[in-house]
């Protein structure tokens, strides 16, 4: 079963409630919220006050993606509203302790790898993860083209999860559209982050249906 996690990064925040209602009606599975600090990535997005507001206006699970430096400093705060909480392997935390802390707070834990990171580097962390996110673009900005090397990484993670007998969601983020979504699913992804492809559409429901039919 393919899950769709639309990224609100490219949405118009003045009409976000309306867009969330459209996404709910279209049958998406969660909302992907990219938190950027201007240090770990060269962009600034939003923080916990926005996430708190979104939480109050939807029953969809919130898939909070921390693109921030030393994320362990903020786990307790973001866990108040997140259903899935992910942070970057490369961001300078004690990754094992951070994953454990997320679970202690009753939130599903996830780790993210950038295009420069090989999947083997996180194999030892998989038992502490409920989800792994593979970036198929450089994190920081929406609307980038899909990097095909992400497919190899998804396949490697799928195989390792089977080897360790782990039931982990594999998420992919960046450049997902009608052409790249089937490739990602065939490689092992079962959660697709789609931003620009959905929010630029006249009919978001039709595009959600298109991806769900893979």
Q: If residue 169 lies in a helix (H) or strand (E), which one and from where to where?
A: strand 169-173
Give the pLDDT band (50/70/90) at residue 171: very high
pLDDT at 213: 86
* pTM for the model: 0.95
CATH of the domain at 72: 3.20.20.70
CB 90: neighbour CB atoms within 10 A? Answer: 15
pLDDT at 137: 95
Give the pLDDT band (50/70/90) at residue 140: confident
Instruction: Assess whether pLDDT exceeds 90 at residue 214.
Output: no
Q: Which of 164, 159, 183 is nearest to 172 (CA)?
A: 183
pLDDT at 78: 98
pLDDT at 1: 84
Give the pLDDT band (50/70/90) at residue 127: very high
The string of pLDDT tens digits covering residues 35-82 is: 999 999 999 999 999 999 999 999 999 999 999 999 999 999 999 999
Helices (H), 105-175: 149-163
Mean per-residue pLDDT of the chain? 95
CA distances from 123 to 60, 91, 98, 119, 134 (A): 30, 17, 16, 7, 13
CA 4 from centroid of its chain's CA atoms: 10
The string of pLDDT tens digits covering residues 185-210 is: 999 999 999 988 998 888 989 999 99
pLDDT at 144: 78
Please say if 76 is a catalytic residue.
no
pLDDT at 139: 86
Mean pLDDT across 170-182: 95
125 exposed, middle or buried (CB, 10 Å; 0-12, 13-18, 19+)?
middle
Instruction: Assess whether pLDDT exceeds 80 at residue 143.
Output: no
How far apart CA 81 and CA 26 sit, in angstroms, is 23
Give the pLDDT band (50/70/90) at residue 170: very high
Would you call 147 helix, strand, or coil by DSSP? coil
Q: Which of 194, 26, 168, 47 is nearest to 111 (CA)?
A: 168
How far apart CA 23 and CA 108 sit, in angstroms, is 22
Would you call 72 helix, strand, or coil by DSSP? helix
**Residue appearing with tokens 């038992």:** 127
- Which residues, including other chains, have CB under 8 Å from residue 176's CB and lie 6 or more apart? 136, 146, 184, 192, 193, 194, 197, 211
How far apart CA 121 and CA 173 sit, in angstroms, is 19
Catalytic site residue from 19, 29, 37, 173: 173
% of the chain surpassing 70 pLDDT = 99
Please say if 63 is a catalytic residue.
no
Mean pLDDT across 83-109: 96
Query: For residue 54, what are the domain limits?
Result: 3-212
Catalytic site residue from 19, 29, 34, 63: 34
Instruction: Assess whether pLDDT exceeds 90 at residue 10.
Output: no
Quote the number of domains for the chain: 1
């Amino acid at each position: 079963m393919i899950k769709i996690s639309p990224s609100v990064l490219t949405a118009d925040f003045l009409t976000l409630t309306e867009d969330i209602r459209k996404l709910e009606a279209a049958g998406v599975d969660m909302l992907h919220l990219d938190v950027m600090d201007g240090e770990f990535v060269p962009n600034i997005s939003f923080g916990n006050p926005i996430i708190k507001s979104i939480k109050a206006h939807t029953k969809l699970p919130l898939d909070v993606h921390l693109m921030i430096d030393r994320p362990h400093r903020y786990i307790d705060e973001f866990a108040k509203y997140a259903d899935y909480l992910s942070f970057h392997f490369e961001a300078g935390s004690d990754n094992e302790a951070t994953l454990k802390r997320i679970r202690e707070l009753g939130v599903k834990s996830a780790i993210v790898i950038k295009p420069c990171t090989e999947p083997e580097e996180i194999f030892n962390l998989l038992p502490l993860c409920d989800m792994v996110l593979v970036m198929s673009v450089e994190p920081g900005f929406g609307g980038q083209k899909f990097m095909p090397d992400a497919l190899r990484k998804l396949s490697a993670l799928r195989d390792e999860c089977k080897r360790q007998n782990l039931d982990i969601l594999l998420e992919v983020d960046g450049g997902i559209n009608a052409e790249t979504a089937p490739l990602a699913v065939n490689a092992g992804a079962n959660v697709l982050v789609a931003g620009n492809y959905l929010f630029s559409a006249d009919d978001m429901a039709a595009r959600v249906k298109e991806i769900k039919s893979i």
